[in-house]
Amino acid sequence: MNEQGEYWRDLRTVLAVARSGSLSGAARQLGISHATVFRHINHIEEKLEVKLFERNRGGYCLTTAGESVTGLAEKFDQDLMVLERQILGEELQPRGLVRITTTDTLLINFLSPIFADLQKTYPEIELEIGCSNELVNLNKREAEIAIRPSKISPDNMVGRKMADIHVGVYGRVQDHQYLLENNRKVESLNKLTGLNWIGPDESLAHLRIYKWLQDNNLYAQVKTRYNSLLAVADAVRNGGGIAILPCFMAAIDPTLLALKAPLEEFDNELWLLTHPDLRKVGRIRACMDFLGTAIDKKRHLFEGQSETVRDKL
């Protein structure tokens, strides 16, 4: 222990003896031995070259010098308590910038109201939301938190899987009234032939949706193509045809009907992630806890099990 550390240690010991009136009482307060208290008192008295206590049968009584040193120790102790309260207050009211990255489909269809509630709960936190279908590098501090689909948790990240993401074939409710009347879904893809499909264009050829349509000989029926899943969903909503969509995009929309869901080959997972070095930072921990709780309450939407969807089928 350095000299300053020893000085504060000895001042705390002096204060404990002054408050308790005995070495044994001070030892109980500080959680140290009787002999250690005695050694600390001798150490500071030798250093200051002054006697701080009178030893008598009634215990330890402060000398005039001891009263002065105890007054200084009391001030240090009070300042330390103020500092601890300030630190605790900052933990209870986290503040500062938190950058979150997610996909446009998750943001528009699911996360926007959650982010609004997060900011209301922690008004001193500033949120910076980035939309990208590319995996932002948390290692390079391009963002502090990531919420995105992935089959596995990326290396060197910490967090948790929030939900299974299911995918289905969706159409507009009023265009498929017969399904509602018969309380059933399409069991075979063959029954979807002859319908107008909406799908991704070649700029989204890397998506499994694009490959699935090709493999099932359905891409020739895609009469309208978009470079955004948000646009695909909007086209279905407006009667343009049927399309493959994540269940969470359709579950909250009463105009959309699941014709066939789920398509197991599209199953994915939703992860909430941060960098290991950031998980104990107050504002990051507060955001992670809030987001985890909020997303968990709505995880059924990702599985296409919302009450809205069940009521429609």
CATH number of the structural domain 167-266: 3.40.190.10
Examine the pLDDT at 187 and tell me if it is beyond 90.
Answer: no
CATH for 96-165+268-312, options being 3.40.50.1820, 3.60.15.10, 3.30.70.20, 3.40.190.10: 3.40.190.10
Residue 218 CA to residue 201 CA, distance in Å, equals 14
Q: Which of 111-120, 123-132, 153-162 has the highest mean pLDDT?
A: 111-120
Model pLDDT, residue 312: 42
CATH number of the structural domain 3-92: 1.10.10.10
Fold match, 3-92 / 96-165+268-312: no
Tokens representing 283?
A: 């504002």
Residue 51 gets the label, from left (phi > 0), alpha (psi -120 to 50) or beta, of beta
Please say whether the beta carbons of 305 and 168 come within 8 A: no
User: Measured between alpha carbons, how far is residue 290 from residues 116, 136, 207 in Å?
Assistant: 12, 21, 31
Q: Where are the domains of the chain?
A: 3-92, 96-165+268-312, 167-266
pLDDT digits (tens, 9 = 90+) for 221-254: 888 999 988 999 999 999 888 898 988 888 778 8
Examine the pLDDT at 86 and tell me if it is beyond 70.
Answer: no
pTM for the model: 0.64
Burial group, residue 219, by CB count within 10 angstroms (0-12, 13-18, 19+): middle
pLDDT higher at 86 or 63: 63
Give the pLDDT band (50/70/90) at residue 303. confident
